[in-house]
Structure 1
């Protein structure tokens, strides 16, 4: 006969506390880098912040106390006045007529050329890429006079231009914008397409895909981050440009929105607070485009920063 001795119940042990992670020590060099970046960021934002601050204050207040004084009265009255007095509505439309088709056409042509250079086994592809890249080195102001003479001699039908020539039409500004921006976009997209696996295009060829299918349905969707980054930059550059519109458009009703700021200048007196409000309104579309494409824009800028 065996005698069993009762055993004490086993108490559940408390789970071990997770080991606290040691915070990495902040190095003085990293603090210096962050301080430098913050200083540079504030230096770039200072003019914009000052313009926004001035646009909310009456001109009499800033004239008496200075632009860096504490505010006594803030309002959005200048924004309403700037939009109505300058007639920005039609000028916004003019800028969109130039910028939106210009961006789409530039990205389409540049992506097609970059695809041909990097994915099609064509002779002279590297030379062609160098030619497009070298086109960016030419100062644009050098060819203002030749283009002015040329556009006055190119005839267009009445439904395309009121002047019956390429001069004084949106087509002149659009053609110059696309011509000068395609080279930069080709350079960026060609470098990005080289990072894509060539096996994707080779597999598509085996399945019987043509050149257009390889470009439109396989390569182009993979270039979405690069296209978004370039689209944001191109829209900003074309939207803010005023030189080519000033040279090739003589009709004031066709000028872009940047010209609307001139309507806020008086003959004998200029309210700079009102002008600041107009400048902020003009800059809003570019800020909106950046916010909408921010995720793709940042992804496009960081392409190739890490592997794996």
Structure 2
């Protein structure tokens, strides 16, 4: 007669597992920085050399920026001398720059940059959607025309553009002296079209097919499905597009009829050539001109970084 079988009253989940309870040494990798320079946390000559290179790069990029800020608030500012803090702090430079109309030029720049960026993103999104999600005759020609906006330097098209702005074909309107004279020429930028088109091509066709089965139209497809998936690319296009428009110099100059139509970039050149003011006033105007670009970058830096990272890992 066989011996009775004993059953363990403890459930299987409560039984100790040898694999779980075994104490095995865990090998952990020490924290370190992975960079293009091959950063290592071990002290030595290589680490010292890399720190020196980083400090040198920081000095090259940060020194001019600090000199501009300190000179803007220094009574005896000299633009040709490096200075990291104002020796005689004052707000006179800002006041004189304001008396010279810097805030009016600043307002002109904000209107042009805001309107130009809105038009540029609208044109870029619509053009990129058509180029990426549809096929039609002459598609390569359309893309080439957008690329020409990046290939031709401003100096080449300055005179023809001035003639066109003075008498727009077909409608016969003079756009010189208006904000539209600067906004319309920057409305199409090949870089934004190319960037958004490449992102839209990566969207799986299954998503679009499923949406069309549910009766989604073209505009709703673009607004509710495609654009939310392209937020990183929109951030990159927004930051770089704003900086491109804000830094325009030749276009506002040829589109202006009166000095009151100048933007802040053109006004800085006027202030620099004025013998009655010093370098401190020009540096104060430069600080004012730097603020919008920094604000836009800080607001969209997460989208900018994620968009660049996404573009680098595609394929």
TM-score tier (shorter): 0.7 to 0.9
Higher RCO (CA < 8 A, seq sep 6+): 1
Residue 214 (structure 1) aligned with residue 221 (structure 2): yes
Structure 2 partner of 1:167: 176
Partners of 2:238 and 2:290 in 1: CA distance: 17
Query: 215, 223, 240: which one pairs with 2:230?
Result: 223
Partners of 2:66 and 2:141 in 1: CA distance: 46
| Residue pair 2:66, 2:83 contacting (<8 A) in 1 also | no
| Residue pair 2:128, 2:200 contacting (<8 A) in 1 also | yes
Query: 116, 119, 131: which one pairs with 1:105?
Result: 119
Partners of 1:154 and 1:268 in 2: CA distance: 38
Residue 49 (structure 1) aligned with residue 66 (structure 2): yes
| Residue pair 1:236, 1:286 contacting (<8 A) in 2 also | yes
Shift in alpha-carbon separation, 1:152–1:285, aligned structure 2, 3 A: same
| Residue pair 1:168, 1:248 contacting (<8 A) in 2 also | yes
Residue 95 (structure 1) aligned with residue 102 (structure 2): no
Q: How many residues align?
A: 284
Partners of 1:136 and 1:21 in 2: CA distance: 49
Q: What SS is found at the alignment partner of 1:303? A: helix
What TM-score, normalized by structure 2, do the two folds share?
A: 0.78
Partners of 2:244 and 2:210 in 1: CA distance: 38
Residue 114 of structure 1 and its aligned partner are, at CA, apart by 0.9
Matches for 1:66-85 after TM superposition, within 5 Å:
67-68=81-82, 73-85=87-99
Q: What SS is found at the alignment partner of 1:21? A: coil
Matches for 1:149-160 after TM superposition, within 5 Å:
149-154=163-168
Residue 185 of structure 1 and its aligned partner are, at CA, apart by 0.9
What TM-score, normalized by structure 1, do the two folds share?
A: 0.79
Partners of 1:248 and 1:26 in 2: CA distance: 50
Which digits, 9 at most, give the CA deviation of each residue in 1:47-68, with x for residues without a partner? 22221222232217x69xx934
| Residue pair 1:82, 1:264 contacting (<8 A) in 2 also | no
Matches for 1:134-283 after TM superposition, within 5 Å:
134-154=148-168, 165-179=174-188, 181=189, 183-262=190-269, 264-265=271-272, 267-283=274-290
Residue 94 of structure 1 and its aligned partner are, at CA, apart by 0.9
Residue 176 of structure 1 and its aligned partner are, at CA, apart by 1.4
Which digits, 9 at most, give the CA deviation of each residue in 1:9-53, with x for residues without a partner? xxxxxxx89857342678984356675455334323322222122
| Residue pair 1:86, 1:261 contacting (<8 A) in 2 also | no
Gap regions ≥5 residues in structure 2:
1-22, 40-46
Partners of 1:153 and 1:25 in 2: CA distance: 62
Partners of 1:138 and 1:26 in 2: CA distance: 41
The worse-fitting range, judged by mean Cα deviation, of 259-268 and 241-250 is 259-268
Query: 116, 125, 133: which one pairs with 2:130?
Result: 116
Gap regions ≥5 residues in structure 1:
1-15, 158-163
Matches for 1:125-136 after TM superposition, within 5 Å:
125-136=139-150
Residue 259 of structure 1 and its aligned partner are, at CA, apart by 3.0
Matches for 1:9-48 after TM superposition, within 5 Å:
21-23=28-30, 29-30=38-39, 31=47, 36=53, 38-48=55-65
| Residue pair 1:102, 1:178 contacting (<8 A) in 2 also | yes
Matches for 1:56-71 after TM superposition, within 5 Å:
56-59=73-76, 67-68=81-82
The worse-fitting range, judged by mean Cα deviation, of 272-281 and 80-89 is 80-89
Shift in alpha-carbon separation, 1:253–1:200, aligned structure 2, 3 A: same
Partners of 2:135 and 2:245 in 1: CA distance: 33
